[in-house]
Structure 1
Amino acid sequence: MECFMKRNFRDELNQAIDFSSVLTQICAFSSFSCSKEKILNALPQFNKLEIQEQLNYAKEAIQFEQKGGLLNLSGANDISLPVSKAEKQMPLTSKELISIYHFLTAVKQAKQSLNSSEFIELTNLAQSMDGCTRLMDSIISKIDLTGSVKEDATPALKSMHKALVDTRLALQSKSRQFLKKNSSKLMENMTTTVSGRVVVLVRAQDKNAFGGMIHGQSSSGLAYYVEPSSFVADNNEISSLVIRIEEEKKRICKELSMQVKKHALALTSALETLTIIDVAFTKAKWAIRYDGCIPSLQSRDHSLYLEHAKHPLIDEKKVVCNTYELNDQQACLMISGPNMGGKTVTLKTIGLFVALAHAAFPVLCHKAILPFYQSMYFDIGDHQSIENNLSTFSSHISRLSHICQKSDENSFILLDEIGNGTDPLEGASLAVAILEYLISKKSTIITSTHYSQVKTYGKANEHVLVSSVEFDPETLKPTYKYIPGVSGASYAFHIAREYHLEESILKRADFLKNENEKQTEKELEKLEKLQNDVLKQKERFNALIEDAHRVQKEAYEKEKEIEKRKAELDASYQEQLNEMLEKKKAQAKEILTVLRKQKTGKQHEQIEKMHELDLLSENVVEEEQEKKEFKVGDYVKISGLNSHGEIVDIRRNEATVLTNGMKMKVKLSKLEPMHKPQIKKTTYKAHVESVSSRFPLELNLIGMRVEEGIAALDKYLDQAVVKHIKQVRIIHGMGTGALRTAVWKDLKKQPNVSKFTSAGPSEGGLGATIVILK
């Protein structure tokens, strides 16, 4: 029953104020599916403490974002299904296990980012999550980041993988010898695989010449797939090892699944908490992007204030911002004006912001103060019901009857064209009676009307604020500017004249109108015209103030952008220094290891190593400054390689060096200045040199565009093949993943590439690829 009521309420909100469309716009800023689902299922709540708690989270998130804070939840994902499986003692796959690791990584990042006394609510929320560090370590020690069980996850698995490699190598050796010896009896001088077993394609007449097993015949029937007897033992061993490896992997996953079960409660709780955090930051990002604010809900009176409000679904370049206000004595806001003049947009904007505020969302205002309501009712659009045999008016009256029965002083009511759809006199009288009744119940009513009788009632009632949306009679187009205190004319004669209705008809209609108007109404119309002129003067003044605020805001945002950029550059510079320091430490460790291994008799080698250690102790900052002195045209030596050449380009901390007729991208820290050698003319002699000694075994593509990187890769691989290089490393970085994807796609097309895989953790991880050449 409760679910049905919620569904009906949601349908009502969607029909009346496009509530779900706005939620869809908001959830586009979410980091993962759980927060998206929570936002899309949100509804107005009527527990003020719960609403205020969620609004406080969103308010702190806005402050965090505006102060340049960074919260990265890139690893967050919905782990409810794998956790539920683990609780039922169902083994998880390696992919599911690594998804839990990625989730815990996001939890760890959230705890690190939200750890400040400045953001108390979010900090308490983040620090309440259990990071399950031991579980993280257990998973990553056995599962790699791609979701595969590591080959060295256990000693047994490592041993089996080694045995598998050795057996396959032995079988390859046997197969080469077999092919060489029996080439005349084979259809193809190569082996193939059938059901995981290495076989050869033998001529039909020789199918029984080698013993072993026959695994089938070719489509032509002229050849058979034969497993020679000399292959059988190794094929059996390979099959056995593959099965044992898979069983060991399943055992590892089962063991890790039991650990997940032990942490199930902590994981489920962390998922709920991380979802709340992401929802808060989703709201914050939406509010900042569309210039919104956190609404204030008050229970002291019925006053309402929305400053500079704009509807989120209207094009930002076309939307007109307005300020809506009701004081404590005004229970009803009545909006009048011509059709298509913007009355419904005004109603929907106010109604939407009331609903969003009670669902704990920001609203697109500069300032928003709203009463806390405990019920909401909407009657907008055509509610004609075929099923219940109700006409538009009958449905309208049925809805109004329900509202009158259920509403009270804590109700918010939105009524579009009250009393419409029947005889104008009766409809207007009914509208006045309903408004009187709802005002007597102290409900808050936002309504629109065409009827003069209803507008006259509103002007005479101190509890009603009559207002309108401006319409330009010259262009016959609405300006969408909200004008409080002034009722809008219908402009029916202006529109009729524009559409070329007979002038005699218009004159007669004007005469009849004047005859029927009361003198008081004429005086009120004059008064409203004067009031409208004053309001226009006020609008011009407000526009000047708004421009000044806009310029000030742009300057503030520019300053924040510069500060953020400076912080990023400082962080990048510090990261480079740390990276250089780690390299120096590694080099020093290697030198000390060599020194310990050397015998005491080799004093000259010890002196050389000590000299290298002294060089490493030079200040990293000085080395960084030296890098900046390089310029295009300098001749340099590349440390660690027996190469030198001329700098042809410098970008950030990398230089492109022309050496041996080839361009190489090298970090500035690896360059040393040197004098360009003088080339002497000599007679050429035959000389053979190891080609691989001068060829770089890695290619750095970081900083290149995809097209530029692929071109460099193709050229590099061609040169590696010519120089008979068997293994190289391609450094492409992680970044957005576009360059890595393009590299892998290109490697698949390369005829000279035997295989390729991601580098190990010590070789660059997912930021590099190891390529084996044929």
Structure 2
Amino acid sequence: MNERVLRVLEFNKIIELLVGHAATSIGKDFASNLKPKPEINEVIQLQKETDEAAQIIRLNKAIPLGGVTDIRASLKRSVIGGVLSTEECLDVANTIYGGRQVKVFIGNLEDELPILKGLVERITSLRDLEQQIKSCIDDHGHVMDSASQKLRSLRSTIRTLEARVREKLEGYTRTNSKMLSDAIVTIRNDRYVLPVKQEYRGAIGGIVHDQSASGQTLFMEPKAVVELNNQLQEAAIKEKQEIERILKELSGLIAAEEISLYENVTVLAQIDFMNARALLGSQMKATMPLMNDKGIIKMKQARHPLISADEVVANDVEIGKDYTSIVITGPNTGGKTVTLKMVGLCTLMAQSGLQVPALDGCELAVFKEVFADIGDEQSIEQNLSTFSSHMTNIVDIMKHVDDKSLVLFDELGSGTDPGEGAALAMSILDEVVGRDARVIATTHYPELKAYGYNRDNVINASVEFDVETLQPTYRLLIGIPGRSNAFEISKRLGLNEGIIERAKGLIGVDSKSVENMIASLENSQISAEKEYEKAHEILLESEKVRADLEREWNELQNKREALYKKAEEKAEKAINRAREEAEAIVETVRKMKSNVTIKEHEWIEAKKLLQDAKPNLSSKKEKSMQQQTKEKNALKPGDEIKLLTVNQKGEVLEKVSDKEYLVQVGIMKVKVKREDLQLLGKQKQTFEKPITTIKGSDYHVKTELDLRGERFEDALLKLEKYIDDSLLAGYPRVSVIHGKGTGALRKGVQEFVKRHPSIASSRPGANGEGGSGVTVIEFR
């Protein structure tokens, strides 16, 4: 982007705010070098990064970036063999720790944050290097005694020698205090000395290291401590050498991890940069814009980013879809230039990955270039007038503008003869509009009020002015050109009405018509906005009522589901209990069958137990089931039924009337009303031939069992029950239809038959009986 445009639109002030939100020095570097990007994919990626960081802020959490510093220069020095200072080594350790904290923090977040979580995956912990540095250097940047055994020994020696030197010198202060300017022990040139009066120089003896400004005090090292001071100096030199060795070793360890450390710093700076952008957006109450490359700008309640929230007026701005150019007219200080700058600055911010101060769902375009001719930039040095300055900028703009450009003209054509200026403004607009650029221009010229009505892709706009208060409202009115309001303002200020009326008579008829039309449009728009606000309130209330109804309906459905579930659980328990009882009954019958003789009362008792094992459903539910059965299933001859009055199974023989059927129950044939019958199963078709029904003395079961389509386990359960029922009915033989298929069900049936004690033999069906798809069973 052109640097002049960035300066004119005050993008540098946005950068200053952004830098203030960065937590690290390298993050501040990233922020200070931020520039708008011309490629839509790059812009969308930046916006996604900012939005992820904003999600963390919305959770009232903060990324822990404390302690992270820019260690890139230190890394370069360590790689070329330089010895890092204690502070530099400590910065490396703190940066390693900070990176690990950031990695843990983001890794523990439950939200979907693919970009941030992908970044922290690149951070290397380097815990060993951090511990080695921290074990040698304390938080104040001092090398600790524990850094090496030699350093510990040297410092112990130094402390011992210092104590001996001080002891000797303090003896002088006690016995020769009259010779001293002050009874203290001090240091000069790294050696312990005494402040001796000039006249006692010879009495004390020793080496003079310094003197006071007046010359009356000499800082002397007595002969008695010269040797001790020498030893102390030697120990101090060895200490320094050992510290250098330790720092050199640490520098080598840091250099060995240069790639990982550089990557850590780069990632942390990027995260800090993302976080700074999100913090700026939060401060401005901004939102993430939807980006497009079609030149469409659509912002609801957009605000200028640099005007305080107490003073700024939000406006709706739309361009690029129905029209590509907006011409804004209206009085001075009405907010035209602010609107122009707001659109330009929000565009630059969006293309830099920053969120914009507008309502959710705002849309902005990515432009290759943003051009702006705003303000009076006349130059005395270059001898340029206001008009010449504007023309110089416009000439430069016209050289580069195309369909990927946003052009902002402030007071187009001003600074010269109004007639010529208006004509020139319209010609320039025609050229830029013809190149399909997006254009927003402000002007005073009344000739341009009609420009939007005579050109395609151009619309008029104005800034609202309150005649009652004589103050601008700063609201942008799209579709309505501005009017001068000169007569109304003059009247409010007290100008004689006669003068005003004469002035009205002097203006042309066309001008009066245009002003009346503009006034009518303004009134219509204000009325429409009020109606819209009222309709919006009603819509919000309706949505609230709908939400309440949906919530209550969902609660009702949940309660209903809970009741159904409870009923199903109860029914399942009853069925399981009945199944257990039925199994016990079948086992009893098997034992009875093995006896030589079976007494009649024993059979009756076993049948009664089997019937009693059925779950006891409520009469209401049973009647409901009967009603559904009557409505949905008409009875036909051959259908299995249950006679409810005696609780016995039977078969329909024929239909007597719509309400009466002839049925056979056991050995009895009776006429029964339809409501006393419950359908158990429709008449089945035979596999190859009609099903033959054989009736025992008091039991009813068919001579064929069809297992096709059943699951394996369910099929075997049905087979077991069918065999028991057939034995009770006294059949000599029965047929089991299992189909051919994969053979799994046929094999399972045959194995079951072999194990059953009451089955004498079995064989595949003959050609007329269904072939290998049927197994014929002979009972003992």
- Tell me the TM-score normalised to structure 2 length: 0.64
What per-residue deviation string (whole Å, max 9, x for no partner) do you get for residues 172-203 of structure 1?
A: 33344455555566565443333232233456
Change (3 A) 1:86 1:331: same
The one-letter code sitting in structure 2 at the alignment partner of 1:47 is E
1:266 aligns with 2:260: yes
Change (3 A) 1:284 1:185: closer
Q: Which runs of 5+ in 1 are unaligned?
A: 1-5, 550-774
Counterpart CA distance in 2 for 1:209 and 1:402 is 89
What per-residue deviation string (whole Å, max 9, x for no partner) do you get for residues 12-63 of structure 1?
A: 2222x21111221232211022222322332211122222222111110011
Superposed, which structure 2 residues align to 1:670-689 within 5 Å?
none
- Could you tell me which of 25, 28, 38 is aligned with 1:46? 38
Counterpart CA distance in 2 for 1:404 and 1:217 is 77
Change (3 A) 1:246 1:487: same
Q: Does the CA contact (< 8 Å) of 2:295 and 2:367 recur in 1?
A: no
Change (3 A) 1:182 1:294: same
1:303 aligns with 296
1:678 aligns with none
- Tell me the TM-score normalised to structure 1 length: 0.65
Q: Does the CA contact (< 8 Å) of 1:339 and 1:490 recur in 2?
A: no
Q: Does the CA contact (< 8 Å) of 1:10 and 1:43 recur in 2?
A: no
Counterpart CA distance in 2 for 1:28 and 1:219 is 48
- Aligned with 1:249: secondary structure? helix
What per-residue deviation string (whole Å, max 9, x for no partner) do you get for residues 67-87 of structure 1?
A: 233311111222232223223
1:104 aligns with 96
What per-residue deviation string (whole Å, max 9, x for no partner) do you get for residues 602-624 of structure 1?
A: xxxxxxxxxxxxxxxxxxxxxxx
Superposed, which structure 2 residues align to 1:54-453 within 5 Å?
54-115=46-107, 116=109, 118-180=112-174, 182=176, 188-202=182-196, 207-209=201-203, 212-215=206-209, 224-299=218-293, 301-326=294-319, 328-367=321-360, 368-453=362-447
Q: Does the CA contact (< 8 Å) of 1:326 and 1:465 recur in 2?
A: no
Change (3 A) 1:446 1:230: same
Change (3 A) 1:416 1:181: closer
- Computing the radius of gyration over CA atoms, which structure comes out larger, 1 or 2? 2
Change (3 A) 1:11 1:76: farther
Counterpart CA distance in 1 for 2:246 and 2:16 is 41
Q: Does the CA contact (< 8 Å) of 1:450 and 1:490 recur in 2?
A: no
Counterpart CA distance in 2 for 1:548 and 1:129 is 51
Range with bigger deviation, 195-204 or 448-457: 195-204
Superposed, which structure 2 residues align to 1:25-40 within 5 Å?
25-40=17-32
Q: Which runs of 5+ in 2 are unaligned?
A: 544-780
2:568 aligns with none
What per-residue deviation string (whole Å, max 9, x for no partner) do you get for residues 386-438 of structure 1?
A: 45443222232232233333222111111112222222222222222222222
- Aligned with 1:198: secondary structure? strand
What per-residue deviation string (whole Å, max 9, x for no partner) do you get for residues 491-514 of structure 1?
A: 223344455556554333222224
The one-letter code sitting in structure 2 at the alignment partner of 1:48 is I
- Aligned with 1:418: secondary structure? coil
Counterpart CA distance in 2 for 1:341 and 1:223 is 78
- Aligned with 1:334: secondary structure? strand
Range with bigger deviation, 381-390 or 346-355: 381-390
Offset of residue 217 of structure 1: 5.4
The one-letter code sitting in structure 2 at the alignment partner of 1:63 is Q
1:509 aligns with 2:487: no
Range with bigger deviation, 207-216 or 460-469: 207-216
1:472 aligns with 2:448: no
What per-residue deviation string (whole Å, max 9, x for no partner) do you get for residues 560-596 of structure 1?
A: xxxxxxxxxxxxxxxxxxxxxxxxxxxxxxxxxxxxx
Change (3 A) 1:491 1:164: same
Query: Matched residues, percent identical?
Result: 30
What per-residue deviation string (whole Å, max 9, x for no partner) do you get for residues 339-391 of structure 1?
A: 11111111111111111111111111123211222121111111324454432
Superposed, which structure 2 residues align to 1:351-750 within 5 Å?
351-367=344-360, 368-497=362-491, 503-517=497-511, 519=513, 522-523=516-517, 525-539=519-533
Q: Does the CA contact (< 8 Å) of 2:11 and 2:345 recur in 1?
A: yes
Change (3 A) 1:404 1:544: farther
What per-residue deviation string (whole Å, max 9, x for no partner) do you get for residues 726-746 of structure 1?
A: xxxxxxxxxxxxxxxxxxxxx
- Could you tell me which of 11, 15, 27 is aligned with 2:4? 11
Q: Does the CA contact (< 8 Å) of 1:449 and 1:455 recur in 2?
A: no
Aligned-CA RMSD value? 2.9
Q: Does the CA contact (< 8 Å) of 1:329 and 1:462 recur in 2?
A: no
The one-letter code sitting in structure 1 at the alignment partner of 2:52 is E
The one-letter code sitting in structure 2 at the alignment partner of 1:75 is G
The one-letter code sitting in structure 2 at the alignment partner of 1:133 is R
Range with bigger deviation, 508-517 or 466-475: 508-517
Offset of residue 474 of structure 1: 1.1
- Aligned with 1:28: secondary structure? helix
Q: Does the CA contact (< 8 Å) of 1:303 and 1:328 recur in 2?
A: yes
Change (3 A) 1:98 1:34: same
1:686 aligns with none
Counterpart CA distance in 2 for 1:217 and 1:13 is 62
Counterpart CA distance in 1 for 2:174 and 2:30 is 67
What per-residue deviation string (whole Å, max 9, x for no partner) do you get for residues 255-309 of structure 1?
A: 222222223333333222222111111111111222101121113x333211121
Change (3 A) 1:181 1:371: closer
Counterpart CA distance in 2 for 1:179 and 1:173 is 10
Change (3 A) 1:232 1:397: closer
The one-letter code sitting in structure 2 at the alignment partner of 1:230 is A
What per-residue deviation string (whole Å, max 9, x for no partner) do you get for residues 612-671 of structure 1?
A: xxxxxxxxxxxxxxxxxxxxxxxxxxxxxxxxxxxxxxxxxxxxxxxxxxxxxxxxxxxx
Counterpart CA distance in 2 for 1:138 and 1:234 is 35
Range with bigger deviation, 468-477 or 27-36: 27-36
1:579 aligns with none
1:656 aligns with none
Offset of residue 224 of structure 1: 4.7
The one-letter code sitting in structure 2 at the alignment partner of 1:445 is V
Change (3 A) 1:225 1:341: closer
- Aligned with 1:233: secondary structure? helix
Q: Does the CA contact (< 8 Å) of 1:185 and 1:203 recur in 2?
A: yes
Change (3 A) 1:160 1:435: same
- Aligned with 1:294: secondary structure? coil
Counterpart CA distance in 2 for 1:472 and 1:539 is 20
For these two proteins, the number of residue pairs brought into alignment is 540
Counterpart CA distance in 2 for 1:386 and 1:81 is 45
Counterpart CA distance in 2 for 1:404 and 1:213 is 83
Offset of residue 220 of structure 1: 6.2
Counterpart CA distance in 2 for 1:206 and 1:524 is 104
